[in-house]
Structure 1
Amino acid sequence: MLTQTTTRVLEPSDLDAALEVLGREPVANAFVTSRVQVAGLDPWRLGGEMWGYYTDGRLRSLCYAGANLVPVCADTDAVRAFADRARRTGRRCSSIVGPAEATRLLWRLLEPSWGPARDVRSHQPLMVTEQSSAEVRPDPLVRRIRKDEMDVIMPACVAMFTEEVGVSPMAGDGGLLYQARVAELVGTGRSFARVEDGKVVFKAEIGAATARACQIQGVWVDPEFRGRGHSETGMAAVVDFALRDVAPVVSLYVNDFNTAARAAYRRVGFREVGAFMSVLF
Structure 2
Amino acid sequence: MLTQTTTRVLEPADLGAALAVLESAPVENAFVTARVRIAGLDPWRLGGEMWGWYTEGRLTSLCYSGANLVPICATPEAVRAFADRARRIGRRCSSIVGPAGPTAELWRLLEPSWGPARDVRAHQPLMVTEEPSADVAPDPLVRRVRKDEMDVIMPACVAMFTEEVGVSPLAGDGGLLYQARVAELVAAGRSFARIEDGKVLFKAEIGAATRQACQIQGVWVAPEHRGKGLSETGMAAVLQYALADVAPVVSLYVNDYNTPARAAYRRVGFRETGAFMSVLF
TM-score range relative to shorter protein: over 0.9
2:230 match: 230
Alignment of 1:168-247 (within 5 A): 168-247=168-247
1:125 match: 125
Q: Write the distance in 2 (CA, Å) between the matches of 1:190 and 1:84.
A: 38
- Report the 3-state secondary structure (helix = DSSP H, G, I; strand = E; otherwise coil) of the residue aligned with 2:127: strand
Aligned residues: 279
1:54 match: 54
Map Cα deviations across residues 167-191 of structure 1 (whole Å, 9 max, x no partner): 0000001001100110111111100
After TM superposition, give the deviation of residue 251 of structure 1 in Å: 0.1
- Report the 3-state secondary structure (helix = DSSP H, G, I; strand = E; otherwise coil) of the residue aligned with 1:54: strand
Q: Write the distance in 2 (CA, Å) between the matches of 1:223 and 1:27.
A: 31
- Report the 3-state secondary structure (helix = DSSP H, G, I; strand = E; otherwise coil) of the residue aligned with 1:277: strand
Deviant stretches of 4+, over 4 Å? none
Alignment of 1:17-96 (within 5 A): 17-96=17-96
Aligned residue identity for 2:243: L
1:264 match: 264
Give me the TM-score of the superposition, normalised by structure 2.
0.99
Aligned residue identity for 2:53: Y
Q: Write the distance in 1 (CA, Å) between the matches of 2:30 and 2:136.
A: 26
Q: Does 1:248 find its partner at 2:226?
A: no
Q: Write the distance in 1 (CA, Å) between the matches of 2:90 and 2:146.
A: 40
1:161 match: 161
Q: Does 1:15 find its partner at 2:15?
A: yes
Aligned residue identity for 1:40: G
2:139 match: 139
- Report the 3-state secondary structure (helix = DSSP H, G, I; strand = E; otherwise coil) of the residue aligned with 2:208: strand
Map Cα deviations across residues 138-163 of structure 1 (whole Å, 9 max, x no partner): 00000000111100000000000000
After TM superposition, give the deviation of residue 195 of structure 1 in Å: 0.2
Q: Write the distance in 1 (CA, Å) between the matches of 2:171 and 2:257.
A: 27
Aligned residue identity for 1:176: L
After TM superposition, give the deviation of residue 275 of structure 1 in Å: 0.1
- Report the 3-state secondary structure (helix = DSSP H, G, I; strand = E; otherwise coil) of the residue aligned with 1:206: strand
Q: Write the distance in 1 (CA, Å) between the matches of 2:184 and 2:46.
A: 15
After TM superposition, give the deviation of residue 30 of structure 1 in Å: 0.3
- Report the 3-state secondary structure (helix = DSSP H, G, I; strand = E; otherwise coil) of the residue aligned with 1:27: coil
2:280 match: 280
Map Cα deviations across residues 37-71 of structure 1 (whole Å, 9 max, x no partner): 00000001100000000011110000000000000
Give me the TM-score of the superposition, normalised by structure 1.
0.99
2:116 match: 116
Aligned residue identity for 2:216: I
After TM superposition, give the deviation of residue 4 of structure 1 in Å: 1.7
Q: Write the distance in 1 (CA, Å) between the matches of 2:200 and 2:79.
A: 41
- Report the 3-state secondary structure (helix = DSSP H, G, I; strand = E; otherwise coil) of the residue aligned with 1:172: coil
Q: Write the distance in 2 (CA, Å) between the matches of 1:100 and 1:175.
A: 29
After TM superposition, give the deviation of residue 204 of structure 1 in Å: 0.2
Q: Write the distance in 1 (CA, Å) between the matches of 2:63 and 2:4.
A: 19
Q: Write the distance in 1 (CA, Å) between the matches of 2:150 and 2:12.
A: 34
Aligned residue identity for 2:121: R
Aligned residue identity for 1:191: S
Q: Once superposed, what is the RMSD of the aligned Cα atoms? A: 0.6
- Report the 3-state secondary structure (helix = DSSP H, G, I; strand = E; otherwise coil) of the residue aligned with 2:92: coil
- Report the 3-state secondary structure (helix = DSSP H, G, I; strand = E; otherwise coil) of the residue aligned with 1:220: strand
